[in-house]
Amino acid sequence: MQRITILGATGSIGVSTLDVLARHPEKYQVYALSAHAKVEELAEQCAQFRPARAVVGSAAAAARLSTLLRERGLAIQVEHGEAALCSIASSADVDTVMAAIVGAAGLAPTLAAARAGKKILLANKEALVMSGQLFMDAVHEHGATLLPIDSEHNAIFQSLPHSYARKPAAAGVAKILLTASGGPFLNRAVETLEHVTPDEACKHPNWSMGRKISVDSATMMNKGLEVIEAHWLFGAPASLIEVVIHPQSVIHSMVSYVDGSVIAELGNPDMRTPIANALAFPERIESGVAQLDLTSIGTLQFHKPDFARFPCLALAFESLDAGGTAPALLNAANEVAVQAFLERRIGFRDIDRVIARVMHENEHHAATSIGAVMDCDARARAAAHAIVAGLAR
């Protein structure tokens, strides 16, 4: 019986994880759930899965959740704040942690899980984008197990040999091919992107996701962050990572080998597949996802990405080449810019402009500690807020 903590239980990944867990009550038990502010949704999840602990973002949210749980007759320990998140991620009562908090807020509890030697199902790509080597060092030093949940990285994981040890040359890997749908604006005239609305940006053609990650998909920053994540997960330099646009989202990613073989993972676009794969690894369990019918697809298309259409992807490669805390600058600026766009304070194409200015107008340094990374994150956010304020006037 695996005991699970889900960080970010009310988000799309958290909801999908609970759907898979509910199909296998004999294998999995929920120990703790967290949400930032969706108290009512979290209360419903607590009523169904009966965790021992529940964590929210603020004292006010905790008070509200406590009331809702008492009304349901549930004796669940309610806590709030970052320290509580770290506690439910590192508790001795936990075997597996689903790290699904979006953005930099997920770094501290995910790192706590690594330092506690947990099995980590990583859906929070920012942990690796921001802290890279520091995070991987913690995983190795404390004997944690790290399994990727992003559909692309999980596909790469499945396409590599089980003995893979982050050494591409030793495994005969020639190239890691990250597929990308291209998002909702793949074929839209570039000059019209200045007028994109938040609702348009959030209408992904294939995947059902939260609003922030949907905007990241529309700008292809999501793919850029995945390039950085792939670098750390698989020990591959940027020169061995290629982004391929594949609008059908059937092939989730591929690995090309020196003998000419290309191994791919295919499936319907449903996050329950990589979640089930990581939960049960090295076994397989039913996920609730329909079997892929290749005969109904007909055609699979592949294109090179256009950096003029997707400048955020180019900025991500630039930050990876720069190294150190440069990816932290990129990530922080993107989070601020995307939020400002969703609040209609800046335009869609202002997102990449804000990120570029933050990256080019602020120094980056060696990522020698988590404190140094977080200092860089705070500095980048302040710079991004100032740029947004100027654009919004």
Annotated binding site: 10-13, 124-126, 150-152, 181, 204, 210, 217, 222-223, 226
Single-letter amino acid, residue 122: L
Binding-site residue set for NADPH: 10-13, 124, 126, 210
Binding-site residue set for 1-deoxy-D-xylulose 5-phosphate: 125, 151-152, 181, 204, 217, 222-223, 226
Which residues are registered as beta bridge partners of 176? 241, 255
3-state secondary structure of 344: coil
* Alpha carbon distance 182, 117 (integer Å): 36
* 359, 383 Cβ separation under 8 angstroms: no
* 113, 235 Cβ separation under 8 angstroms: no
* Alpha carbon distance 113, 50 (integer Å): 22
Binding-site residue set for Mn(2+): 150, 152, 226
Q: Chain centroid to CA 136: how far? A: 16
Token reading at 314? 């180019």
Q: From its phi and psi, is residue 108 left (phi > 0), alpha (psi between -120 and 50) or beta?
A: alpha
* Alpha carbon distance 370, 107 (integer Å): 9
3-state secondary structure of 155: helix
**Lateral strand order in the sheet of 77-80:** 77-80, 53-56, 28-34, 2-7, 96-99, 119-122, 145-148
Which residues are registered as beta bridge partners of 315? none
Residue 352's nearest CA partner among 328, 336, 368 is: 336
Q: Where does residue 314 rank: exposed (0-12), middle (13-18), buried (19+ CB within 10 A)?
A: middle
Single-letter amino acid, residue 172: G
* Alpha carbon distance 88, 77 (integer Å): 11
Dihedral angle at the C-alpha atoms of 121, 124, 130, 135, nearest 10 degrees?
Answer: -10
* 171, 164 Cβ separation under 8 angstroms: yes
* Alpha carbon distance 81, 179 (integer Å): 36
Q: How far is CA 4 from CA 50, 128, 139, 290, in A?
A: 12, 21, 18, 25
